[in-house]
Structure 1
Amino acid sequence: MVTHAAMPGRRGGRAHARPRPHTALAWALPLVLGVIYGFYAAFIRRDGGPSTGGQVLLGLVSGAALAVLCFALGRIQHAVPREVRAVAYGALTASAIGFLVSLTDTSVLRSAALGLAVGVGVLCVSYYALYARET
C-alpha cells in the first residue's frame, strides 16, 4: 500500500489566517444605514418644531451607534453559525425599531412589543435566507 506523507508548507505545519480586507460595501452600507437612521431619529424627535442641538446630537449618536453595530456584525458574520447570525440580525433590528418607537412618546410596552415583533420577523426571514443560501 502506498501512502503519502504530508509535506509541510513554507510556513510550517500550521496555516495562517489572513485578515479580510474591508471592501467599499463593508464601509458604505453601515454608514448609509447610520446616516438614514440618525436623520430619522432626529426627525421623529423634532415633532414639527424647530431643530435644536439636542435633536441633532441624538441623531448623530444614534446613527453612529447603529453604524458601528452594523459594521461589527458584518465583520463577524462569517465566523458564526447561521442560527446565531439570524438571531443577531433580529436582535439588532428589534433594538433599533424599539428605540425609534420609544422616541414617539408611547408606552414602553408598545415600543418593546413592536420591536420584538419586527425582530422576530427579521429573525425568521434572515434564517430562511441564510438556510436556503448555504444548503
Structure 2
Amino acid sequence: MAHAAPTPGMRTPALTGSGTDHLPDVFDERTHLVARWAVPVTLGLVYGYWAAANRRSGGPVTGWNILFGFVAALAFAALYVAIRAVAPRLRREAHALLWALFAGCAIGFLVNQSGASVLYSASVSLAAAAGLFAAMFYRYSTHGEAAGHRAG
C-alpha cells in the first residue's frame, strides 16, 4: 500500500507526544471513579491481611490480629491515596522517590511483622526501594519527556 510522505507542516502521532493522545478512552467516567476508590481499598485489604498473617506466624486468628489487619489496611490505603494525589505534581525525581519510599516502607513493615530482625527488614526495604526508584525514574523520564514534561 502507498502512504503519503510527511511534509514539514504535517503532524504525526509519533511527533505529537506520547503516542496515546489519539487513542479513545474506552471507559466512562463512572468506571474511572469506581476504580479510583476500588484499587486503594483492595490493595489496602490485601496488605492488611498480609501484615496480620505475618504477625500471627501461623497461629490462631484473634480479635487483636483482625484489628491490626484493618488498621494496617486503613493506613496503607490512606497513604496510597495521598501519594497518588501528591506525586504527579512533583518533579520526576521526587515523584519516583516518593513511590520508592512508600513501597520500601511497606515492604520493610511486612518483613518486620514476620519476626525478622530490624537490620534484615531495613536492608530488604532499602533494596526494594532502590530497585523501584530506578524503574520509576526510568519510566517517568521516558514517558514524561515524550509527553512534553521536562525536568525542572
Task: Give TM-score scaled by structure 2 length.
Answer: 0.71
- Give the residue type in structure 1 aligned to 2:92: R
Instruction: Provide the rounded CA distance (Å) in 2 between the counterparts of 1:25 and 1:91.
Output: 24
Q: Is the 8 A contact 2:108 2:124 kept in 1?
A: yes
What pairs with 1:57-96 in structure 2 (closer than 5 Å)?
57-96=67-106
Percent of aligned positions that are identical: 37
Q: Is the 8 A contact 2:55 2:115 kept in 1?
A: no
Instruction: Provide the rounded CA distance (Å) in 1 between the counterparts of 2:98 and 2:33.
Output: 22
Question: Alpha carbon RMSD of aligned pairs, Å?
Answer: 1.2
Instruction: Provide the rounded CA distance (Å) in 1 between the counterparts of 2:62 and 2:98.
Output: 34
Q: Name segments (4+ residues, structure 1) moved above 6 Å.
A: none
Q: Is the 8 A contact 1:91 1:119 kept in 2?
A: yes
Q: Which residue of 2 aligns with 1:31?
A: 41
What pairs with 1:1-135 in structure 2 (closer than 5 Å)?
23-135=33-145
- Give the residue type in structure 2 aligned to 1:80: L
- Give the residue type in structure 2 aligned to 1:55: N
Instruction: Provide the rounded CA distance (Å) in 2 between the counterparts of 1:32 and 1:56.
Output: 16
> How much does 1:24 deviate?
2.5
Q: 1:82 to 1:23 in 2, by over 3 A?
A: farther
Which ranges in structure 1 are unaligned for 5 or more consecutive residues? Answer: 1-21
Q: Is the 8 A contact 1:26 1:74 kept in 2?
A: no
